[in-house]
């Protein structure tokens, strides 16, 4: 699983540009690769969640974004959990 924020795309700048252009529709970002173990996949998913929370909070009100992003990332992490 890739960790967002470690590659070449400047997501914060991209989202700021979209916001300044008036874009307000939903954006979906996916990473379907999994790591060697469930623990590694979960750790990367958590790091990705934290990255997105920070990136989105930087372009909109922190209180609003934190509440909304926690709900959305909680749903994402539930999808990532391996079925045992």
Per-residue pLDDT of 20-50, as tens digits, reads 888 888 888 777 677 888 888 888 888 888 8
Domain membership flag for residue 16: yes
Task: State the pTM of this model.
Answer: 0.57
Determine the pLDDT at residue 63: 44
Determine the pLDDT at residue 42: 86
Q: What is the total residue count of the chain?
A: 84
Other Cβ atoms closer than 10 A to 8? 4
Split into its structural domains, the chain has a count of 1
Domain that holds residue 17: 11-80
Domain membership flag for residue 58: yes
Cα 58 to Cα 6, 11, 40, 51, 65: the distances in Å are 17, 11, 27, 11, 9
Domain membership flag for residue 1: no
Domain membership flag for residue 2: no
Domain membership flag for residue 4: no
Domain membership flag for residue 41: yes
Contact 30, 69 (CB under 8 A): no
| Nearest alpha carbon to residue 44 among 69, 36, 20 | 36
Domain membership flag for residue 35: yes
């Amino acid at each position: 699983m890739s960790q967002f924020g470690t590659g070449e795309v400047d997501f914060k700048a991209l989202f700021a540009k979209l916001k300044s252009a008036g874009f307000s529709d939903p954006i979906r970002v996916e990473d379907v690769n999994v790591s060697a173990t469930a623990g590694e996949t979960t750790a990367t998913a958590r790091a990705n969640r934290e990255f997105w929370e920070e990136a989105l909070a930087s372009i909109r009100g922190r209180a609003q974004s934190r509440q909304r992003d926690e709900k959305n990332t909680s749903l994402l992490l539930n999808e990532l959990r391996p079925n045992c």
